[in-house]
């Protein structure tokens, strides 16, 4: 297959940032995706409905109006979040989910929740209103090896939360292991998972063989090949519980290429091209549209996009960098290399 036409995708997990980085990164998402679930881990985080409204306006001002891009806003759950604020969020047409970061798990998560099993009134309110809980699924216990943190989170946190709140709608974000795939498959309705393009395309060798490659460092960290294979099988299976979420997470070149580099890979500039490459590798391009453009809207109870995108097998080179403001650079994943697919909106 050298060409396919699919519904316009949505990105169900993306970091658009703020300020100069927002201006640099958001147009890429807006050009490709109809909608995106926008992560709230700004500094300071987006914790109230009013803050989410203000952020939404900044995003709309940063993207070309003709794209018709719709940012779907989220709130950042903290230990100070109130039941009343969640009730307001659930009534609000622009807010589509609430994000749970275990404190210390990832970039800008220090205002997150120390003990996710100690916020029952908040989870009860989400269960009551139907507002989905998006989880960064890694434990932060320093005793737990970083490669085991996702599997441990499932046992220690997700399973108990599911037992206590069977009605709670949950998206396990950016899953990276066969354990997460197996967990999601055993769940009833109301539980889904996003999978990134980079976790479908790469295992941890890409980050560590032949030198340490900071642009491949993200959280949850890339895992071994067995896990990549499990993610590919899940994403290409057509199972409605798995959908596209790039976790595109731009940082400046200086923040990435450092003795303590930030976690996050910038993929939004070619999200669909990268997913197409992963699906093509296993001969499953026919399953791409379900994953990128159907399963996500169905989970969130939103209409499917009506416009279409044409994907063509056509090598194109990736720029070495994108400008951020006047002085900074953003290095995309695959910088200076080649993409095998090209996506054009129809």
Binding site for ligand NCD (CB under 6 A): 15, 41, 106-108, 136, 218-219, 247, 249, 263-264
- With a CB cutoff of 8 Å and minimum separation 6, the contacts of 159 are 183
Write the DSSP assignment of 183-243 as a string of letters: HHHH--TTEEEEE-HHHHH--THHHHTTS--GGG--SSPP--HHHHHHHHHHHTT--TTEE
Give the Cα separation of 272 and 280 in Å (integer). Answer: 12
Beta carbon nearer to ligand NCD, 76 or 279: 76
Q: Is 247 a catalytic residue?
A: yes
* Shortest distance (Å) from residue 107 CB to Zn ion: 8
* Shortest distance (Å) from residue 289 CB to ligand NCD: 25
CB atoms within 10 A of CB 38: 26
* Shortest distance (Å) from residue 65 CB to Zn ion: 26
Beta carbon nearer to ligand NCD, 15 or 227: 15
24 within 8 A of 258, measured Cβ to Cβ: no
Is residue 247 involved in binding Zn ion (CB under 5 A)?
Answer: yes
Residue of 6, 46, 12 whose CA lies nearest to 192: 12
Beta carbon nearer to ligand NCD, 59 or 249: 249
Beta carbon nearer to ligand NCD, 9 or 264: 264
226 within 8 A of 203, measured Cβ to Cβ: no
221 within 8 A of 147, measured Cβ to Cβ: yes
* Shortest distance (Å) from residue 174 CB to ligand NCD: 6
Is residue 239 involved in binding Zn ion (CB under 5 A)?
Answer: no
Q: Binding pattern to Zn ion, positions 169-188, x when CB under 5 A? A: --------------------
Q: What is the dihedral of CA 296, 111, 58, 13, to 10 degrees?
A: -20
Is residue 150 involved in binding Zn ion (CB under 5 A)?
Answer: no
**Residue 204 binding target from Zn ion, ligand NCD, none, CB below 5 to 8 Å by type:** none
Beta carbon nearer to ligand NCD, 25 or 285: 25
Give the Cα separation of 242 and 290 in Å (integer). Answer: 9
Give the Cα separation of 158 and 176 in Å (integer). Answer: 15
55 within 8 A of 95, measured Cβ to Cβ: no
Stretch near Zn ion under the rule CB under 5 A, chosen from 141-149, 247-255, 299-307, 321-329: 247-255
Catalytic residue among 11, 120, 247, 320: 247
**Residue 34 binding target from Zn ion, ligand NCD, none, CB below 5 to 8 Å by type:** none
* Shortest distance (Å) from residue 153 CB to ligand NCD: 13
**Residue 106 binding target from ligand NCD, Zn ion, none, CB below 5 to 8 Å by type:** ligand NCD
Stretch near Zn ion under the rule CB under 5 A, chosen from 66-74, 126-134, 195-203, 243-251: 243-251
Give the Cα separation of 297 and 10 in Å (integer). Answer: 8
Give the Cα separation of 252 and 331 in Å (integer). Answer: 7
Q: Interface with Zn ion by CB under 5 A: which residues?
A: 247
Which sequence positions are flagged as catalytic? 247
């Amino acid at each position: 297959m050298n060409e396919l036409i699919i519904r316009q995708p949505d990105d169900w997990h993306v970091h658009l940032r703020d300020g100069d980085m927002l201006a640099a990164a958001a147009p890429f998402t807006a050009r490709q995706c109809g909608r995106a679930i926008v992560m709230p881990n700004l500094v300071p985080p987006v914790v109230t409905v009013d803050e989410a409204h203000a952020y939404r306006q900044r995003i709309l001002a940063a993207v070309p109006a003709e794209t018709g891009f719709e940012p779907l806003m989220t709130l950042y759950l903290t230990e100070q979040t109130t039941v009343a604020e969640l009730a307001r969020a659930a009534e609000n047409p622009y807010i589509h989910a609430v994000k749970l970061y275990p404190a210390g798990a990832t970039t800008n998560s220090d205002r997150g929740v120390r003990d996710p099993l100690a916020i029952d009134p908040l989870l009860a309110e989400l269960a009551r209103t139907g507002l989905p809980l998006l989880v960064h699924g890694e434990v932060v216990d320093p005793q737990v090896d970083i490669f085991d943190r996702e599997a441990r989170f499932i046992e220690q946190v997700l399973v108990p939360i599911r037992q206590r709140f069977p009605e709670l709608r949950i998206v396990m974000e950016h899953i990276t292991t066969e354990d997460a795939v197996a967990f999601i498959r055993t769940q009833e309705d109301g539980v889904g998972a996003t999978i990134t393009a980079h976790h479908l395309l790469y295992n941890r060798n890409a980050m560590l063989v032949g030198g340490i490659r900071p642009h491949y460092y993200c959280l949850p960290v890339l895992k071994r090949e067995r896990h990549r294979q499990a993610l590919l099988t899940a994403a290409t299976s057509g199972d409605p519980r798995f959908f596209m979420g790039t976790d595109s997470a731009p940082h400046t070149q200086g923040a990435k290429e450092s003795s303590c580099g930030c976690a996050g890979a910038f993929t939004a500039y070619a999200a669909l091209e990268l997913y197409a490459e992963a699906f093509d590798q296993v001969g499953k391009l026919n399953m791409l549209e379900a994953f990128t453009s159907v399963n996500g809207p169905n989970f969130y109870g939103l209409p499917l996009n009506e416009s279409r995108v044409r994907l063509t097998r056509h090598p194109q080179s990736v720029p070495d960098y994108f400008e951020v403001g006047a002085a900074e650079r953003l290095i995309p994943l695959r910088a200076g290399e080649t993409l095998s697919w090209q996506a054009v909106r129809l």
